[in-house]
Structures are given as structure tokens and as C-alpha cells.
Structure 1
Amino acid sequence: MSLAGRISHAVGTGLAPLLPFWLELRARRGKEMPERLAERRGEAASRPAGPLLWLHAASVGESLSLLPLMDALVERRPDLHLLVTTGTVTAATLLMQRLPPLLADRVHHRFVPLDVPRWVETFLDGWRPDGAIFVESELWPNLTAALARRGIPLALVNARISARSARLWHWAPGLMRDMLGRFSLVVAQSEGDAERLRRLGAPGAVYWGQLKAAAEPLPADPAELARLRAMTGDRPIFLAASTHAGEEEIVCAAHAALLPRFPDLLTIIVPRHTERGAAIAALAAAAAVPRGVTRRTEGGDPVPEAGIHVADTLGELGLFYRLADVALVGATLVPKGGHNPLEPARLGCPILLGPHTENALEAAEALLDRGGALPVASAAALAQAVTDVLSDPARGHAMATAAAAVAARSAGLPGRLATAVLGIMPALRDGVARQRGYCS
């Protein structure tokens, strides 16, 4: 074991006695499921018979991006079971809601164990996966080391590392080189990410496309969509999607600036974290919105008397993208890196992007370059961009068409990734699960 590996092992072991208290605190804050805290210690395994592939994604966007890949994997190996781990409650909830029926009986969800050596070993002893796929930047030293010791093949897909993170890793090059060297396949989400990963210790890193670009369109309840369309009629609708703190103030200021031109404007705010709904509604009310504010979790609807509607529910973003005439993608007006701009692109909604798009830089640049999105950086710029789209339907249609073309470019990526992943995992490639104490 390298010096960096020994340090990581010691740190993980040393923190273990304190982590249960931290998990309990997170549970009280709604960030963990109290009844499932044992999973964070690697417990509660229930391994199915036959071949098992483990897929890990930290949060919502990463986990949902796995759906087309999982579909492609099971299509190629119909006997395959999938263990999917996430790190957040929201990701777990949405993932299980979105699973198509053909995958539902093949997918087993658990929360990922914390990177404590003993807990990692408990997890792997219980599940005995035949291979593992990690998504984006989920690199854990003790976990990857344990997988490598057991000879379990590893793939890193949709891999991402920012220029800033790459610079920070130069302070611990051995640790990063050790972790990346454990992956037999590294597929980056942009050529820039691939180059940074190659410099840090993954010489075979390649770029084939953006996995999130291949996801299915966000779902929506057709009956609810029809009901809301009937309620809103021909009102112009501006959506602020997956917003973070600091963005709602800008959105409310833009809403006020738009009212003289569009007096019946409806602005819908969908916060990234639904528990912020009450605070956002209070902020909007304090902005003296002439038509008032409604909240979806309180049974409120975007009625004619409402100027701002706070849609603080989980899993309904597809509904509001379909309802909107133009949408701001959240986490782009504040330095959070931006959420996935291809979600509105797949749903024919004109897109507005703030300056912070590092998390999906290639997709954002392609949308801006091809006229599928407009850049905004302030409340005034946001109001002007909304005006440009609402006052010129032909422009909005052209933006939506250009954005859809960008989103369609990665349609074949899940199949290519599935073939490559199975190709590096002998037990899955050869159609025979390795014998680890179970019957295939």
C-alpha cells in the first residue's frame, strides 16, 4: 500500500467512531433516512443470485443519467442484476420513481457506505459485485482500494474533474494516481476532462460524449399538465428551474422588471432543494409581487391571482419545463457550476444560462454556440432575455430546435458504454458470474 493509501486508511479508521453521530445529525436534518443508516456502515446487503454489477452515483443528476446505461446493460445481459448506490435521499427517491418497469425487478438500491475501511469491507462481503461503475467524480481511496484488492473490475464513466480540482490534486498526486490507476475504463464527459484525467494518472481516459445528454426526457403526468395548461391559458410563463440560494432574488427582480411589458406574467420557481420553499415564498412576497405568491406543497395552484408560483415538490421538473415558454437553468447565476441544460433542450423549452456552467461546460457551450440558449448574468440581462423570447415566438421556436439538435448528439452513447463496460469485466463479458459463494 502506498503512503497516500496508508494515510487514507488511517484517516477513515480514525473517523469511524465519530461518523455515527454525524449521520444521526444528518438524519435529524432530513438528509438521511433514519431507518436506513445501517447502509452507510455497509450493512443490510441482500445479494441476488447470478451476475451483479454495482453502479454508484452521488446525487440526482448523476443517478438519473444512469437510467439509459442501465437499460443498455440489461439489454445486453438479460440475467444481470444491478446494485445502485447513491449518497443523497433525493437521488434515491427520484431514481426509484423513474425506473422503467423492465428495470424495476433488476435494480437494488442502497445508500453508499462511507469511506471507512471496515464498513467498505462489510459492504463488499455482503454484495460481492462482479464489477463496478462509478459516475463523474466519485473517487474514494479506501473503497477503490478494496475493490482493486478483490480483483473487481472498475469503470469511471461521465468522468469530470474541473481545472481547479485538478490543480488541488497536484498537492497529492500519488493518491489520485493510485485511485485512477484502479480503473480499467475511464470515459470523460468532455475532452478537457479527459486531458486533465490523463495528466493525473489515467493515461487511457477517452471522451465519447456526455451521458446526461442521452437521458430520456424528464417525465410529466399528462393529466396534471393538461390541468395546468387549462388553468394558465395564454399567460406567458417564465420558469426558474432547480434554483439555489441567491438566484431567487435575481429572478424576483427580473419578474418585477418584466411586469410593465407582460402584466399577466407567471413566474414559476422550482427550487433545487424543496425544503427551501417557504423561505422562497416569503422572499417573493416581500418583493411586493402584485398578483401574490402560491406554493405547490400548500395546495396552491398558479391561478390567475398568482404572479409567482413556488413549485416546491420533488420530481415534477418535467411538468414545468413543458408548461414554460422560457426557462433559466439553476445554479448558473451563482457559483454552483450549473445543472443539466439538456433537460429543457429535450423538452423544447428555450433556455437561459448564467455564467456558471462548469458542471456541464461542453453542453452549455454547444447550446450557446448553436443558438439553443441565451446567456444572462444579472437581473436586467435576465429580464431582457425573457423579453426577447416572449415577444418573438419564432425566436423561441428556433432556440428550441437548435437545443434539441444538441441534445440528440449522444443518442448512441449508452449502448457504446454498456458494451465497453461489459468488455472489461470478464465475469459479465463471458456470461458466467464469478463464483463468490453464490449460485449463478
Structure 2
Amino acid sequence: MTLGPVVWRIGATLVAPALAPYLRARTRRGKEIASRLHERRGEGAARQPGPLFWLHAASVGESLSALPVLEAMAERHAALRFLVTTGTVTAAELLGQRIPPWLAPRVAHRFSPLDVPAWVGRFLRDWRPDAGAFVESELWPNLLAAARQRGLGLALVNARMSARSARRWQRAPGLARAALDAFGLVLARSPADAERLAALGASDVRCWGDLKMAAPPLPADPAALAQLREAIGQRPVFLAASTHPGEEADAIAAHRALAPALGGLLTVIAPRHPARGPEIAAAAEAAGLPAARRSAGAAPGREIAIYVADTLGELGLFYRLAGAALIGGSLVPHGGQNPLEAARLGCPVLFGPHMENFEEPRARLLAAGGALALEAPAALAPALRDVLSDRDRARSLAEAAATVADGHAGLPGRVAEALLGLLPPDGPAETPLGRRAGP
């Protein structure tokens, strides 16, 4: 074993006592659930008899992109159950909303254990998954080392490795190689990601495409959509979707610049973290713009200029209503959110210079003429003016984007077949209590 994994293991063990106050602090900020903190210590297993596949997805985008794969696996293997671990409360809540009713009884959710050797060891010992997959870029050295020691077949799915992350991992090459060595199969989302992962030591790297390009359209409640359409009427609508701190101010400034020319303009701001709704509404009011919050039950009446969509799972509503959407996380150095969600619903797409997390969809959208790239926040208002005041321009953008967003329809099934191939050929050896025999 190289020095990096040893240092990481010792360091994680030493820091474990300080993690309790850390988790309590996160709970106060709404980032953890108090009654489920034990899951972060690897406790709370409830394994059922039969084969179990473990899927780990850190956050919202990862978990939702993998949901079609779980559905395809469940359709192909009637006895298979699933354990899904996530790292965020938001991902857990949205996953609960989006899992189809026929699949829900076969899926258990837990928050992922923190990367402390004793905690990840307990988690794997009690759950005893038969195989597993990590989505995108979750590389936890102690968890992966423990899985490898148990002989667990693992895949890294929709694998992502940005240039910035690759540079960080290159500072600890032994740790990177040890983490990646746990994966018998790596399915990269793009050729660039595949190249960077292989350079860090990943083996059997394949590039089949991006699962986010194969996702179904975001859902929308028909009754809620009808109510919003009635409230908005014929007003032009600008959506700032999944925004991060700093971008709301840009959206508010763009609204103030455009309102005189676009009569009745409604700007909808949907923050990536809904808990920030009150502060965004207050910022709009401070700028002299009447604001309302969806979480408070308010509607975007004629008198409202800024409507804060501070709820979970409703972006599908607003992409269907908007005449143009700014993709959040792209005007600030966050790396961008998924632009294909807007494109798939016929909403013209704009994004800023920071789209590192979605390099391939960005390039494809621009090559097809299906998006507008903004060099700086100051370019937002002029670009919106062009799209919202020119229906032909908006239609052209939406139609071009749809050609990109409709690809990769068969990818979830292909990935499902590969993941099912990781299961032991003879199935688990079950005891009466649903535990595999052996240590």
C-alpha cells in the first residue's frame, strides 16, 4: 500500500471525534436530518433477503440521472433490491418524489457514511451489498478500500473528472490510483473525462455517453402548471434556474435593465438551495422590485416582478413557462448545472463562462446553435432582450437544442446490463436472517 491511503486512513480515524459537532452544525443549517445522523456513522442497516445492488450518488443531479438505470435494472431482474446512498438531504427528498411507485418498495435510501474506516466498515458489513456503482466523481478512499477488501464488484458510472479535479488528484497519485483501483469498470461520460481518469490510474475505462443526455423530461404537475399559466398570462418570463450566490443579483439587475422595454416582464429565480428563498426575495425588494415566494404559497400576480421558486422538484414547471432560461452555476465559478433539462422542454438556453461540469453538453449545444454563451454577467440583459423579443430567434434556439437533448435514448439500458453483470453469477448465499454466509 502506498503512503497516500495510509495517511488518509489514519487522518480520518483521528478526525472522527470532531465529526459529531460538525454534523450537528450541518443539521442546524438544514443540511442533515437530526433523526438520521446515525446513518453517517454507517448505522441503521435493514437488509432484506435476496440480491442487493448498492448505488451511491452524491447529490441531486447524480441520483436523478441514475434513476432510469435503476428502473432498467429492476425490469431485467425481478428479485433485485436496491440500496441508494446520497450525500445531501435535497437528493434524498427528490429521489423519494421521483421513484416510480412500482419500484419504490424495492429501494432503500440511506445517507452515505462519512469516510471513517470504522464507519464504512460497519456500513458494508451490515448491508452486505452484492455489487455496486458510484455515480460521477465520488471517490472516498476508505470506503472504496473497504469495498475492495470485501471483493465487491464496483463500477464508476457517468464518470466525471474535471481538469481542476484531476490536478488536485495528481498531487496525491497513490491515493488516486488506490481509489480508482476499486472499480472494475469505469463508464466515462465524455472522451475528455475518460482520458483524465485513465491518466490517474483507472482501468477498463469506456466512454458510452452522458446519462444526463438520456434523462426523461423533468415532470410537472398539470394542475400547478395550469394555475401558473393563468396567473402569468401573456407576460414574458425569464427563468434563472438553479442559481448560486451572486447570480440572483445578476438576474435582478437584468430584470431592472429589461423591464422598460419588455412590458410586464416576470423574472423567476429558482435557487439551487431553496432555503435561500427569503434572502433572495429581500434582495429583490431592496432593489425596488415587488417579490413573492412560492414556498409561502404566493402566486406570480401581475404586480410581482420577481417570483422566487424556492421549492423542490418544480423546475419542470418553470422550464415549460419560461421564454428563456439562465443555467445557474455558470455566471459564478461553480461549474454550471445541467443545461439539457431546459433544452429537453423547449426552453431557450443561456449560460455563462463557467460550465466545466458540463463541457460536452455545452459544446454540443453551441455547435448546434442551441444555446447562447455569455462571457460575463453584463451580457445577460442584452442576450435576454434578443431572445424574449424575437419569437423566431427563440424557436430556432429551442429546436436546435432539442436535437442535442434527444440523444442517447438507449444508454440507461446499456448501463443497466453492464451493472447487472457485476452481480455474483449464483446470487447471494442467504441465511434465514437475510445475511450472506461468511465473514
Structure 2-normalised TM-score?
Answer: 0.96
* CA displacement 1:250-305 (0-9 Å, x = unmatched): 1111111111210210110001111111111111112222xx11111222211001
Match of 2:427 among 404, 413, 432: 432
SS of alignment partner, residue 220 of structure 1: coil
* CA displacement 1:24-68 (0-9 Å, x = unmatched): 111122110000001000000000110000000111111111111
CA contact under 8 A between 1:250 and 1:378: conserved in structure 2? Answer: no
Residue 295, structure 1, aligned to residue 290, structure 2: no
Report how far residue 379 of structure 1 moved: 4.1
Q: Tell me which amino acid in the other structure corresponds to 1:433.
A: P
Distance 2:283 2:204 in 1: 49
Uncovered stretches (5+) of structure 1, i.e. residues with no partner? none
Report how far residue 372 of structure 1 moved: 1.0
SS of alignment partner, residue 83 of structure 2: strand
Report how far residue 227 of structure 1 moved: 1.0
Residue 418, structure 1, aligned to residue 413, structure 2: no
Q: Tell me which amino acid in the other structure corresponds to 2:300.
A: P
* CA displacement 1:60-85 (0-9 Å, x = unmatched): 11111111110111111111101000
Name the residue aligned to 1:274.
274
Structure 1-normalised TM-score?
Answer: 0.96
Report how far residue 4 of structure 1 moved: 2.1
Uncovered stretches (5+) of structure 2, i.e. residues with no partner? none
Q: Tell me which amino acid in the other structure corresponds to 2:268.
A: I
CA contact under 8 A between 1:185 and 1:421: conserved in structure 2? Answer: no
Name the residue aligned to 2:385.
387
Equivalent residues in 2 for 1:121-160, closer than 5 Å = 121-160=121-160
Distance 1:120 1:62 in 2: 21
CA contact under 8 A between 1:345 and 1:351: conserved in structure 2? Answer: yes
Residue 188, structure 1, aligned to residue 188, structure 2: yes
Distance 2:146 2:109 in 1: 20
Report how far residue 388 of structure 1 moved: 1.3
* CA displacement 1:296-351 (0-9 Å, x = unmatched): 12222110011111111111111111111111110000000000011111111111
Q: Tell me which amino acid in the other structure corresponds to 2:83.
A: L
Distance 1:247 1:63 in 2: 25
Name the residue aligned to 1:311.
309
Residue 82, structure 1, aligned to residue 82, structure 2: yes
Name the residue aligned to 1:28.
28
CA contact under 8 A between 2:240 and 2:269: conserved in structure 1? Answer: yes
Name the residue aligned to 1:118.
118
Name the residue aligned to 2:50.
50
Distance 1:285 1:376 in 2: 26
Q: Tell me which amino acid in the other structure corresponds to 2:305.
A: G
Report how far residue 208 of structure 1 moved: 0.8
Quickly say closer, same or farther: Cα 1:426–1:277, change in 2 above 3 A.
closer
Quickly say closer, same or farther: Cα 1:283–1:377, change in 2 above 3 A.
farther
Distance 1:221 1:168 in 2: 42
Quickly say closer, same or farther: Cα 1:326–1:150, change in 2 above 3 A.
same
Match of 1:400 among 398, 401, 412: 398
Name the residue aligned to 1:375.
373
Q: RMSD over aligned Cα, in angstroms?
A: 1.4
CA contact under 8 A between 1:342 and 1:363: conserved in structure 2? Answer: yes
CA contact under 8 A between 2:52 and 2:129: conserved in structure 1? Answer: yes
Q: Tell me which amino acid in the other structure corresponds to 1:438.
A: G
Name the residue aligned to 1:59.
59
Q: Tell me which amino acid in the other structure corresponds to 1:176.
A: A
Quickly say closer, same or farther: Cα 1:366–1:342, change in 2 above 3 A.
same
Equivalent residues in 2 for 1:351-370, closer than 5 Å = 351-370=349-368
CA contact under 8 A between 1:277 and 1:295: conserved in structure 2? Answer: yes
CA contact under 8 A between 1:268 and 1:311: conserved in structure 2? Answer: yes
Report how far residue 431 of structure 1 moved: 5.7
Distance 1:434 1:206 in 2: 31
SS of alignment partner, residue 53 of structure 2: strand
CA contact under 8 A between 1:130 and 1:434: conserved in structure 2? Answer: no
Name the residue aligned to 2:322.
324
Name the residue aligned to 1:244.
244
Distance 2:17 2:230 in 1: 56
Q: How many residues align?
A: 435
Quickly say closer, same or farther: Cα 1:426–1:243, change in 2 above 3 A.
closer
Distance 1:68 1:26 in 2: 31
